[in-house]
Amino acid sequence: MDIPPHVEIIAGQLLPRFIPKNPNETSLAFQFTIAPNSTYRVNYVKKQVKGKADWVLTGYEEVKEG
C-alpha cells in the first residue's frame, strides 16, 4: 500500500504521543485531521530491531464522515 507522503510525515510526527506504555503491546492505531476536513486513521506495528522497539507504519485509511 502506498502511503501518501503528507500522511506518513504527519503520522510520524504524532507517533511519540501514541506509543503505548505497556511494552507488550505490538500494534497501535490513531486518527488525525488535516485542515480543512481530511481525517486519516493510521496503523503501526512494533518490530524489534537490535533489541529496540521500532514502530512501523503499515497502513492508513481516509475516514469519511456520515
pLDDT digits over 23-46, tens only? 999 999 999 999 888 999 999 999
Q: What is the pLDDT of residue 65?
A: 77
Enumerate the domain spans of the chain: 5-63
Q: What is the pLDDT of residue 66?
A: 61
Sheet holding 38-49, edge to edge: 27-34, 38-49, 52-63
Measure the CA–CA gap between 29 and 43, rounded to whole angstroms. Answer: 4
Residue 1 has pLDDT above 70, yes or no: no
Residues ≥6 apart with Cβ < 8 Å to 37: none
Q: What is the pLDDT of residue 6?
A: 94
Residue 52 has pLDDT above 80, yes or no: yes
Q: Between these two residues, 57 and 49, which has the higher pLDDT value?
A: 57
